[in-house]
Amino acid sequence: MKTAENTAMEQAQKAMEQIRTVVVGKDTVLMWVLATILAGGHILLEDIPGVGKTTMAVAFSKALGLQYGRVQFTPDVLPSDITGYSVPDSATGEMVYRPGAVVCNLFLADELNRATSRTQSALLEAMEENQVTVDGVAHLLPRPFTVIATQNPTGAAGTQLLPDSQMDRFTICLSLGYPSVADEKKMLLSRQGKNPMDALTPCFTAQQLVALQKTVADTYISEDVVEYIVRLIDGTRRHKQILRGASPRATLSVMAVSKAVAQLRGRDYVTPNDVQEVFLKIIPHRLLVTEAFQDKDRRPLLQEILRQVKAPAIR
């Protein structure tokens, strides 16, 4: 007999099938985005313009039935454009809150690293506490709430580095990259006289997605696997080539995304293999490394830690 949880996960897979018709040939990236959403996290996409970052965000909002908000970040975007602002009511004279763009289920922060540091920081509270504070009053954001931010590669014209505090709030950092020749041909053929985006239909309501996130959060993880996660994170703080290791927030993210990956693979428990895969995916962008690894792939450092820390046996 199918349970409500199994049915919900099947709906998630149907949503993925729809999204694949719009974002062609990027199944692995799409899986990680969905896993992060189910874990209640936030996604940073670092890539060149034109590879489909915004298209992917819109596709997820449609297929998952989420209210969508977007801001194209430029130097003249103000924090109040994001968080909202208060204005006096003409009838009562009292201050009334006018919601900003972030008051939605899925917020696309497009080219976030083109904005000023002050505007970038307007997202910090929303990403961590699911609320914004305007004139001393806290306003809760709708549930679920996910930020998908895009940034141009470091050094591109008009960009500046995101602060470490904001980088750490992004659960995962991904890159779409160029499609293969075959996938790009398939993309062109699928757009002959139509747009696949128009055919997307919601597989969830927001409330159903919140319930599925709760199911993911309740996924079983043994104490041995929890200790394994903690030891891996501790390894990042002791490695000679890593100046600043992963934070406790990163530890929580590894556990949360591992649970989502397990559920997407049809299991209601987390294995060490889930943890290893997630560890390599969501830790690199959080690390401060020595100059020797500054502009290099940081995964070899993490693979070295995986070799040093013994994985528990599954009983």
Domains in the chain, ordered, with CATH?
A: 4-190 (3.40.50.300), 219-308 (1.10.8.80)
The tokens for 197 are: 């985006």
Of 97-111, 151-165, 210-224, the poorest mean pLDDT is in 151-165
Q: How high is the pLDDT of residue 38? A: 96
Mean pLDDT along residues 78-104: 89
pLDDT-derived band of residue 1, with 50, 70 and 90 as boundaries?
Answer: very low
Mean pLDDT along residues 136-150: 92
Mean pLDDT along residues 37-47: 93
User: Average per-residue pLDDT in the chain?
Assistant: 89
pLDDT-derived band of residue 297, with 50, 70 and 90 as boundaries?
Answer: confident
Count of helix runs (H) and strand runs (E) in the chain: 13, 11
How far apart (Å, rounded) are the C-alpha atoms in residues 113 and 161?
6
Asked if 106 and 60 touch (Cβ cutoff 8 Å), the reply is: yes
State if pTM tops 0.75: yes
% pLDDT > 70, the chain: 95
